[in-house]
Amino acid sequence: MKKFLIRFSGFLSLAALAALLCIGLLFSVADGHTDAHYLRFTSPLQQSMILGNSRAAQGIQPSVLKNILHKDFYNYSFTFNISSFGPVYYRSIARKLDPHTKDGIFIIAIDPWSLASQTEDPNDTANFRETKERLYQLENVSSKPNIEYLATHYNDAFYKILFNQSILNKRIFNAMEVQEDGWLDVDLKLDSLAFEAKVPARRDLYLNEHLPISKFSEARLAYLLKTIELLKKHGEVYLVRVPVHPLFMEVEDMLMPNMDSVIDPAIRASDGFLDLSPYNEKFIFIDGNHLYKDSGAEVSRMIGEWIKGVRSH
C-alpha cells in the first residue's frame, strides 16, 4: 500500500506539474479569439462603458466614439442570454467600473428583450436565464490572463486556445474577434443578399420560440434604474435603442408595443435617450438582429454626435 501511495503520488505530482506548465503557457496566449467574452474580463477597470446585449457588443464601436468624444470607451456588452438587465449584470458592471471615476460616459443600449424574462414569473430574479450562466459568478473581471475565467468558465477544450490564437488564426478561420476595447468585431465580407436571406429564419426563431414565453419584467426595469443610479454617481448616462431589421422590429413591437412609455422612468433618470429605430431601413444587418460592421460604425458615429450635441447644451 505504502509503495502504491508513494509511487502514485509521485506520478501525480509530476503529471500535475507538467499539466500546470502546459496550461499556464496556453493561458498566456489566450486573446480576443479565445471566445466571445474572455478578453473583456482581462482589461483594467473602466471609466466609460457601453452596456447592453449582443447588438451593442457588435454594433457600437468604442474607437468611433473616441474620435468624436475624445474619451476611451470600453464595450462591456455580452449577449441577450447573459447581459439582460438584472442582478447578475448589475454586479458585473459594478465590478468592472473603476470606483474613482468622476466624469465617465456610459451608453446603455436598450431593447424589449433586455427588459423581458422567460421565467414563469417575470420578476423571479433568482431564476433569470443569466443565473444559469457561470460567467457572472466571476469575481475577477480585470486580470490578464484571467485564470479564474479560463479555468472555470471557458467551456471548450484547452487546445483550442492555441488554435484560436491570433498569430495562428488571424482571420483565416474565424471571423469573430473581441478587440482590445471590448468591441466584438465580426469581420464578414459584405454580402447583402446572403445577409438578407438569413433574416426570416432568425426572425422566426424569435417569433416562435422566444416571443411566446417572454414577458416584460418589472424587476429588469428596476435593475436598469439601479444600474443608471450606480453609473450616475460616476458620470453621465445615455440610453440608446440600436437599430434592428424591420422584420425583427415587428416582433419587438409585439413583445413591447409601448417601449418608450415603459422605460420612461429610466429615460428621466438618465441624461437622454436616442431612439435609432426610425432609421432601421437605412442599415445593413448580418442576420437581422446584428448590424454589419460598416453600419455599426455609422450608428456609433450617430450616437457619438448626439452625445456631443447633448453635452454641449
Q: Between 173 and 279, whose beta carbon lies closer to other proteins? A: 173
Q: Among the residues of 114-191, which ranges form H helices?
A: 147-152, 159-164, 166-169
Per CB under 8 A, 163 contacts other proteins: yes
Determine contact, residues 203/248, Cβ cutoff 8 Å: yes
Beta-ladder partners of 184? 178
Count of residues interacting with other proteins (CB under 8 A): 20
Residue 196 burial by Cβ neighbours in a 10 Å radius (0-12, 13-18, 19+): middle
**8-state DSSP, 207:** I
Q: Which of residues 16-55 bind other proteins (CB under 8 A)?
A: 18-19, 22-23, 26
Per CB under 8 A, 279 contacts other proteins: no
| Minimum distance, C-beta of residue 171 to other proteins, in the bound complex (Å) | 14
Determine contact, residues 13/69, Cβ cutoff 8 Å: no
Among 70, 99, 126, 155, binds other proteins (CB under 8 A): 155
The helix-helix angle for 192-204 and 246-255 (nearest 10°) equals: 20
| Minimum distance, C-beta of residue 3 to other proteins, in the bound complex (Å) | 6
Q: Between 168 and 190, whose beta carbon lies closer to other proteins? A: 168
Per CB under 8 A, 232 contacts other proteins: no
R_g over Cα of the chain: 21
| Minimum distance, C-beta of residue 133 to other proteins, in the bound complex (Å) | 15
**26 vs 20: CA distance, rounded Å:** 10
Q: Between 126 and 157, whose beta carbon lies closer to other proteins? A: 157
Reported as type and span, the H/E element at residue 176 is strand 176-178
Per CB under 8 A, 198 contacts other proteins: no
Burial call 244-255: b when 16+ CB within 10 Å, e when fewer: bbebbbebbeeb
Q: Between 15 and 310, whose beta carbon lies closer to other proteins? A: 15
| Minimum distance, C-beta of residue 212 to other proteins, in the bound complex (Å) | 20
Q: How long, in residues, is the chain?
A: 313
**145 vs 28: CA distance, rounded Å:** 6
Determine contact, residues 34/179, Cβ cutoff 8 Å: no
| Minimum distance, C-beta of residue 139 to other proteins, in the bound complex (Å) | 18
User: Residue 85: which region, alpha, beta or left (left: phi > 0; alpha: psi -120 to 50)?
Assistant: beta
Q: Between 142 and 169, whose beta carbon lies closer to other proteins? A: 169
Per CB under 8 A, 160 contacts other proteins: yes
Per CB under 8 A, 156 contacts other proteins: yes
Per CB under 8 A, 173 contacts other proteins: yes
Per CB under 8 A, 15 contacts other proteins: yes
| Minimum distance, C-beta of residue 311 to other proteins, in the bound complex (Å) | 45
Do β-strands 184-186 and 176-178 pair in parallel, antiparallel, or remain unpaired?
Answer: antiparallel
**Interface region with other proteins, contact rule CB under 8 A, candidates 159-167, 176-184, 205-213, 247-255:** 159-167
Q: Between 20 and 310, whose beta carbon lies closer to other proteins? A: 20
| Minimum distance, C-beta of residue 92 to other proteins, in the bound complex (Å) | 23
Determine contact, residues 310/272, Cβ cutoff 8 Å: yes
Among 70, 99, 126, 157, binds other proteins (CB under 8 A): 157
Per CB under 8 A, 120 contacts other proteins: no
**72 vs 3: CA distance, rounded Å:** 61
Binding site for other proteins (CB under 8 A): 1, 3-4, 8, 11, 14-15, 18-19, 22-23, 26, 155-160, 163, 173
